[in-house]
């Protein structure tokens, strides 16, 4: 019997210790909720109080009254008057003498009016609201909005990322290559704990521009109670925007250049005249010598004329075969060289300008699933 009594005692002590720990946890939750109300965060305050008022929270009578009153204030702050009235009714059912004078830090007139209205209803014996009055908290979610298609300059260009948690929470973003989502190149968190925008400068942790490609943008949120929102992801494609480059001019035509050499012929007109003269002499020599009988019987023979023609042709060939020399024209050569240098410099300048334009071309960021 003594052993049985000792065991019962140990069980009672353990149960009391568990209850004390539970009440300590509830007290922490209530304190955190009051702090959130002081910071005008009714959603976070409600989340703490819902945990304090859970059936298995181990809250004491006084703690439940306090939690219901704070929950009603949180709902009234969020303009949910019906839920606030139900919470006040639950508090007054537990302790009809509860007052809220010490809690008049927000909308005191509305608070007193609604609380006292429920006090009168409870005193008149009106039917109490069914318990529990506190509904399960709505799941925490986060929405992310991105431009569908935008052009960003390399200098000071930022991709706007709009985050909107469903209640007060710290929303954050992580960006990583689509092929390596566990290796983020950029992360950031909203400092306000509410909806807002972040701006990614398209640079990685090393400060350099990320290479073109597909990138995964992940957003989530965590409220003050540690509840996390499901991660929302989007994929964007980053590419260089087309650069406005110049086309190279066509090659210079041959007609653009002056001749750089002149040919000087050594043909002698006297040789041509001598050949012609010899040919004529051969044909007329017999007559010129007063010996026409030498041509007697040759009238129908063209030999003399053939010989004369041959001599003449030989003279012509000698004329045509005369030599020639090429003399340089320095002024034309200098002018052509200057023209070539000018053309080469112009082409090099265009190539350099095109490279500079391409290097400074803006980046196009397109949301996958957006317009093409």
- 290 falls in which pLDDT band (50, 70, 90)? low
Q: Which residues contact 119 (CB under 8 A, 6 or more apart)?
A: 88, 92, 96
Higher pLDDT, 184 or 224: 184
Non-local (6+) Cβ contacts of 29 within 8 A are 48, 49, 51, 52, 57, 67
- Are the C-beta atoms of 140 and 53 separated by less than 8 Å? no
The total of structural domains in the chain comes to 3
Give the residue-averaged pLDDT of 141-150: 93
**pLDDT over 80 at 140, yes or no:** yes
pTM of the full structure:
0.52
**82 and 24 both lie in a single domain:** yes
Q: What is the pLDDT of residue 146?
A: 93
Residue with tokens 């004529």: 280
Check residue 226 and give left, alpha or beta (phi > 0: left; psi -120 to 50: alpha).
left
Report if residue 178 sits inside a domain.
yes
> What are residue 249's phi and psi, to 5 degrees?
-70, 160
Written as one string, the DSSP assignment of 288-308 is HTT-GGGGTT-TT--HHHHHH
Same domain, 90 and 146: no
pLDDT of residue 277: 57
Strand order in the sheet with 142-145: 142-145, 159-165, 196-200
Instruction: Report the CATH number that the domain containing residue 236 is assigned in CATH.
Output: 2.60.40.4070
Q: What is the mean pLDDT of the chain?
A: 77
> Would you call 113 helix, strand, or coil by DSSP?
helix
Pairing of strands 363-367, 232-240: antiparallel
226 pLDDT tier (thresholds 50, 70, 90): confident
For residues 87 and 8, membership in a common domain is answered with yes
In a domain, 283, yes or no: yes
Same domain for 227 and 160 = yes
Mean pLDDT of 273-293: 53
- 36 within some domain: yes
pLDDT attached to residue 304: 52
88 vs 111: CA distance, rounded Å? 10
Residues 116, 9 within the same domain: yes
Domain span at residue 36? 2-123
- The CA distance from 39 to 122, in Å, is 31
**Mean pLDDT for the stretch of residues 82-90:** 85
Q: What does the pLDDT read at residue 286? A: 53
Radius of gyration of the chain (CA): 53
């Amino acid at each position: 019997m003594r052993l049985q009594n000792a065991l019962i005692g140990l069980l009672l002590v353990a149960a009391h210790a568990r209850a004390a720990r539970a009440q300590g946890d509830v007290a922490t939750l209530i304190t955190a909720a009051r702090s959130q109300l002081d910071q005008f965060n009714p959603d976070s305050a409600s989340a703490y109080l819902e945990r304090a008022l859970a059936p298995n929270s181990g809250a004491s009578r006084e703690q439940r009254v306090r939690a219901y009153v704070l929950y009603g204030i949180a709902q009234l702050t969020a303009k949910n008057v019906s839920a606030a009235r139900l919470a006040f009714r639950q508090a007054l059912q537990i302790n009809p003498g509860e007052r809220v004078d010490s809690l008049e830090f927000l909308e005191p007139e509305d608070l007193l009016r609604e609380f006292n209205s429920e006090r009168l209803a409870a005193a008149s014996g009106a039917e109490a609201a069914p318990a529990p009055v506190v509904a399960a908290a709505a799941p925490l979610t986060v929405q992310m909005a991105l431009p569908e298609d935008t052009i960003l300059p390399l200098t000071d260009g930022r991709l706007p990322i709009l985050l909107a948690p469903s209640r007060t929470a710290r929303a954050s973003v992580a960006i990583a290559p689509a092929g390596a989502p566990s290796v983020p190149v950029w992360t950031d968190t909203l400092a306000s704990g509410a909806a807002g925008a972040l701006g990614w400068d398209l640079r990685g942790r090393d400060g350099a521009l990320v290479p073109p490609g597909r990138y995964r943008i992940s957003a989530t949120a965590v409220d003050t109670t540690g509840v996390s929102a499901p991660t929302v992801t989007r994929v964007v494609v980053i590419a260089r925007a087309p650069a406005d480059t110049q086309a190279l001019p066509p090659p210079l035509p041959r007609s653009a250049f002056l001749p750089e050499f002149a040919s000087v012929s050594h043909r002698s007109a006297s040789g041509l005249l001598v050949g012609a003269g010899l040919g004529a002499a051969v044909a007329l020599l017999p007559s010129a010598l007063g010996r026409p009988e030498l041509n007697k019987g040759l009238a129908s023979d063209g030999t003399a004329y053939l010989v004369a023609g041959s001599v003449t042709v030989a003279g012509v060939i000698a004329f045509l075969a005369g030599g020639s020399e090429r003399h340089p024209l320095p002024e034309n050569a200098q002018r052509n060289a200057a023209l070539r240098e000018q053309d080469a410099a112009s082409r090099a300048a265009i190539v350099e300008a095109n490279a500079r334009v391409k290097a400074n071309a803006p980046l196009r960021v397109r949301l996958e699933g957006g317009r093409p």
